[in-house]
Structure 1
Amino acid sequence: MSTVAVFDVGKTNVKLFAATAQGAILEELSAPNRVVDGPPYRHHDLAALEDWLLAGLAELGRRHAIEAVVACSHGSGGVLVEADGAALPMIDYEQDPPSGLAGDYAAMAGPFRERGSAVMLGSAHLARQMLWLERGWPEVFARAKAFLALPQYWAFRLSGVLASEVTSLAAQSHLWSGADARPARLVAERGWGRLLPPLRPAFETLGPLRPAIARRCGLRPDTRVVCGIHDSSANFYRYQAAGLQDLTVVSTGTWIVALTDHAGVDLDRETPGLSCNADVRGRPVPGMLTMGGREFASVVGEHAGPATRDALRRIVGSGTMALPSFGADDGLFPGTARRGHVRGPLAGDPSVRFTLGLLYAAMLANRCLRALPPSRTVVLDGGLVRDPLFGAILAALNPTARVLVNRDAHGTATGAALIAGHEARRGPAPLAVEAPDVSGLPDLPSYWSRWCDLSHPWSHAS
C-alpha cells in the first residue's frame, strides 16, 4: 500500500508522519524545532531541520512504500531564498523586529480587507519579515529569487520547484487579500511581486524528489513532492474531504482557531480575533483566532485534570469565573492584556482549578463561534477535546447546531495526507466523530451571559 510522508512544521516541534492516502496515521517521528539566538537575529536552524527531515524520510522509507511527500506548517514562517536554498536565516516569529520597524509596518500594512488579520506581536507576518530583511540586508534581498512560506520552502528544497500557494499566503501573511483572492496591495507598492512565484494548488504535484535526495533517502526517484498547505487549512480540508458543508471547525491547541465555510462576514470591518484564511480552492474562509491554549495553561497552572461535572456544577453555582486576558495580547477583548484574573468564592480552591481552566477555554471558543455566522455543523478537535467536558460545554451553549467532536490528535497530518490524494479521490474521505454527552450540566447559558458582561475591561474594577 502506498504511503504519504507528511512533514508538519510547528513552532515548537516538528513531526514527520507516514500516513495512508485516506489519512490514517501509520507512524510518527518528532523533534524540537530548534531556535538559535543569533546572529543576525533569533532564527530557526533550517540546516539541522533538513538533516532531520531527510534522515526521517530514509527511516520511514525502510518500513513504508512512500509515494508522495507533503509539507504543512503554521502561517508565520517564511524563507528568503536564492538559487538553491535560504539566502538569510528564517526569522523566529516571536522575535521582536528592530526599533521603529513595527510602527512603520503598521502604517503601511493597509486596512483589514488587505491584511486578513490583526497586526500581531513580534514578527508574526511574512510581509513584516520581508520588510525587515529588505531594510537590513538590501543587497541580499535584491538578488534573492523568492520569498516562500514554509510548506513551499520545503517543497522547493525537496523538488527544486518554486511555487506560491493560496492557503499559506492567506494565513495572516499580509501578502494576500483573502477577501478578494488577490495579492495585497502592499506587494505591488513594495515591488515584492517578483519574489512571489506563480500560484500552484496545495494538492498539485510540483515534481519528483531531487535525484540526490531520492538517493540519500533510499526513496523511489519518482516520489512526488506536493505543493503543501497551511496547517489550519489542512485540518479544515479533512472535513471538506469528508463531505461536510455548512460547517465551522474549532481547533484547539496553543491557539484556538475557528474557521467557517460561510460567507456573510464583514471583511471590511476589523474586530478582535477576526481573520480571513483560504481553502484549497482559494475561497475565503473567515475565522477567529485567540491564544486559548496559553490562556488555559495560565489558569490551570500545575493542577492536573480531568475536569469533572461535579466541579463544573460547583463553579457555575458559585459564579466563580476566570476572566481575560492572562497573556501579553488582548486576545478577543481589547484592553485586557495581562489583566486576567479569577474571581468568585472558589477562586482559591485547587480542587476545581483544572475544570475552571477548561470552562474558561470553552468560553473563549464560544466567543469565537458567536463572532461567526451560525453553522448547521460545528466540529471540535485538538488538544482540549481530550477532556469530554470541553465538547459538552460547547454543545450545551449551541443547542441549535449539530456539535461533533473529533478525538483524532493528528488533524493537520490527516488533512495534509488527504491533500496528496485530492485529485484521485472519488468519494468522501472517512471521518470518525461523536456527539458530546450533555447530561448533568448546570445552567451554562446564564453563566455565559454573565461571563460576557464581565469580560470587558471596564468591568475589571468591580
Structure 2
Amino acid sequence: MTLRHIAVIDVGKTNAKLALVNAGTLNEIAVVTRPNTVRPGPPYPHFDLEGHWAFFRDGLAAFHRDHGIDAISVTTHGAAAVLLDAGRNLAAPMLDYEHELPDSGYDALRPPFAETGSPRLPCGLNLGAQLHWLLRDPEVAARTAHVLTYPQYWAWRLTGVMATDVTSLGCHTDLWNPWEGRFSSLVDRLGLTGKLAPARRSSDTLGLVRDGLGLPCVPVACGIHDSNASLLPHVLGRTGAFSVVSTGTWVVAMAVDGAKVDLDPTQDVLVNVNALGRPVPSARFMGGREYEVVRNGGDPATTSADSATVLRDGTVMLSPQEWTRQPATQGQRMVALGHYLALMTKTCLDRIGARGPAIVEGPFARNRDYLSMLAAVHGEVEIATSATGTSIGAALLFADRTTPPATRPVAVDNAPALRDHAARWHRRKDTACA
C-alpha cells in the first residue's frame, strides 16, 4: 500500500498540534492546534488529556473527510508518562514535569549517570523522579497496573496496544540504559517490572486504529520523542559527523559521530537515544521559554542598524535577568537576545563534542541574529530549505525516505565583529562564575 497522507499527533510543551503530512513531498498540508494548558489541580498541576483526545479525534476525522488518512504517527515532549489502572483508566492525572517535587529520597534510589546517561534534573524532568513521587501514595501505587510513555499513550488510545519507545525512555528518564539498550535497574527498584510497557522501536507499527472511534482503520506507529523526531530525517539520510539543534520551548543540541568528550551531567548534558536505538550525546537549555520572557510580547523584528548598535555598544545579555547594559530599543533587545541564545547553543554543542555542520530546526531557524552569531562562532550552520521539524520527522516513521532534507548554509557578513562580541560574552560569563 502506498502511503500518501500521514496524520501526526504532535504534543509540545506549549501547544498540541495535529498535522497532515504529504508522504511524498514531506509538506504539511493541514495543521490545527490547541494550547497545552496545564491545569493547576487538585491534586497537582496536570494536563488535559481528555480535552486533547477530543481535539485529536475531531481533527483526524476532519482530515480523513477532506484529504484521506493512510497512517497515523505520534510525537510528544519528553519527561512524561501516563499511569493506568487494571481497567485501563487513569490511575492518576498526568503530572506536569515543571511541578516542583518535594524531597522524596529519590536521589538515593536513582542509578548513576554511567548507567543511564541521565543527569539529575530539577522538578520532574527525570521521569523516574515523577514516578517515585507519585507511587509514594499507596492508593496510586495500588491502582497502577500499566505505565506508558507519552507518545505511546496516544498510540494506545488509537490501537489498544501498550508500549513504550526507546527515544522516550532514553530522554533523561533514569529508566533506560542507552549503551545496553534495556531498562535500567531503577525500573525494578520502583516496583514497575511488568508494569512499564515493553520497549519498542519508534517505527514499529503497533496496530490498526481500533473500531468504535469513528476513524479510518489505518496503521499507527509506536511514536517518538519530539527532539528525536527532528533528528530522524538527518540520521536516515546523512553520513559523517553532524549535529541537529532542535529549537522550541527547549533548545536541544544532539551530536552524531561527534568527538569523544567527557560528558558532564552537572551541565544539563545527557545521552538521548535515537529512533534506531543508538546513544546520542545531547545538551540543552530552555531557550524558547527564555526568548518569550525577554521578548515580553514585544515586536521581534530587528534591523541591520539594531545589530550594528548592539555590536558597537557592547550590549551583552548574560541571562534573562542580567545585562551589561540595558538596550535602548526593542530591536536592540531582540538582537542581543538572539546573540545570547546562539552562544548558549554553541556552549551546548561544545559540551557534547559536536563536529561538522549544525543543522538548526524549528523557530530559531528563522531568527537572523541567532543564526549569524551561531555561524560566526561554530563555523558550519545550515537550515532546511523546506518544511522540517517534529511533525515531519514523526511522519518519516512511515515514509521510508533515505535522502536528507535539503539545507542551505547560513552566510554571515560580519563574523569578526560577532566573534569579538562572543569573546566579550565569555569574559563576562567567566567572571560571573569565578
Partner residue of 1:40 out of 38, 43, 51 = 43
Taking the TM superposition and a 5 Å limit, the aligned residue runs for 1:194-343 are 194-213=194-213, 216-217=214-215, 219=216, 221=217, 223-262=218-257, 264-266=259-261, 269-324=264-319, 326=320, 340-343=321-324
Residues 410 and 33 (structure 1 numbering): CA distance in 2 closer, same or farther, change over 3 Å?
farther
Residue number in structure 1 paired with 2:396 = 418
Change (3 A) 1:147 1:267: farther
Contact 2:164 2:198 in 1 (8 A): yes
Q: Give yes or no for the alignment of 1:406 onto 2:384.
A: yes
Deviations 1:410-462 (A, max 9, x none): 5000000011224xx4x425x23211221245522222222112114x5279x
Is the CA contact (8 Å cut-off) linking 2:12 and 2:77 kept in structure 1?
yes
| 2:190 alignment partner in structure 1 | 190
**Residue 451 (structure 1) aligned with residue 431 (structure 2):** no
Task: Tell me what 2:14 maps to.
Answer: 12
Match of 2:31 among 22, 28, 34: 28
Alpha-carbon distance, 1:167 to partner: 0.2
Q: 2:77, 2:292 → 1: CA distance?
A: 21
Partner of 2:122: 121
How big is the shift at 1:132? 1.8
- Structure 2 equivalent of residue 56 of structure 1: 59
Q: Is the 8 A contact 1:73 1:151 kept in 2?
A: yes
**Letter aligned with residue 299 of structure 1:** V
Cα distance change, pair 378–5 in 1 and its aligned pair in 2 (3 A) = same
SS, match of residue 70 in structure 2: strand
CA distance in 2, matches of 1:14, 1:206: 22
Which amino acid in 2 is paired with 1:10?
G
State how far apart, in whole Å, the 1-side matches of 2:294 and 2:429 are: 15
Cα distance in 2 for partners of 1:350, 1:16 equals 34
What secondary structure sits across from 1:151 in the alignment?
A: helix
* Paired AA for residue 155 in structure 1: A
What is the CA–CA distance in structure 2 between the aligned matches of 1:408 and 1:382, rounded to whole Å? Answer: 12
- Partner Cα separation in structure 2 for residue 269 and residue 276 of structure 1: 11
1:193 Cα offset (Å)? 2.0
> Relative to structure 1, is the Cα distance of residues 31 and 268 closer, same or farther in structure 2, using a 3 angstrom cutoff?
closer
Q: Report what 1:388 is aligned to.
A: 368
SS at match of 1:212: coil
Counterpart for residue 91 of structure 1: 95
Aligned-pair identity (%) = 33
Count residues with an aligned counterpart.
430
Mapped partners of 2:118, 2:407: distance in 1:
30
Q: Aligned AA for 2:81?
A: G
Matched residue of 1:357: which SS? helix
> In the alignment, residue 88 of structure 1 is paired with which amino acid?
A
Q: 1:119 to 1:315 in 2, by over 3 A?
A: same
Corresponding position: 1:428 with 2:403:
yes
* Residue 21 of structure 1: how far off its partner (Å): 2.0
Q: 1:309 to 1:271 in 2, by over 3 A?
A: farther
Query: Would the aligned equivalents of 2:263 and 2:352 in 1 still touch at CA under 8 Å?
Result: no
Deviations 1:201-257 (A, max 9, x none): 1111111111112xx23x1x3x00110000000110022233354110112222111
Q: 1:257, 1:288 within 8 Å by CA — same for their partners in 2? A: yes
Correspondence list, 1:332-371, <5 A? 340-344=321-325, 347-371=327-351
Deviations 1:348-373 (A, max 9, x none): 44441111111111111111122222
Does the Cα contact within 8 Å between 2:306 and 2:335 map onto a contact in 1? yes
| Structure 2 CA distance for partners of 1:406 and 1:164, relative to 1, 3 Å | same
* Counterpart position of 1:333: none
Pair 178,434 (structure 1): closer, same or farther in 2 beyond 3 Å: same
Return the offset for 1:277. 0.5
Shift of 1:42: 1.8
Check conservation: 1:248, 1:377, Cα contact below 8 A: yes
Uncovered stretches (5+) of structure 1, i.e. residues with no partner: 327-339
Q: Distance in 2 between matches of 1:158 and 1:432?
A: 33
1:408 deviates by 5.2
Q: Describe the SS at the equivalent of 1:455.
A: helix
The separation in 2 between residues aligned to 1:8 and 1:267, in whole angstroms, is 33
CA RMSD of aligned residues (A): 2.2
Give the unaligned 5+ runs of structure 2: none
TM-score by length of 1: 0.87
Other structure's SS at 1:194 match: coil
What corresponds to 2:146 in structure 1?
Answer: 146
With over 3 angstroms needed to count, the CA separation of the structure-2 counterparts of 1:271 and 1:115, relative to structure 1, is same
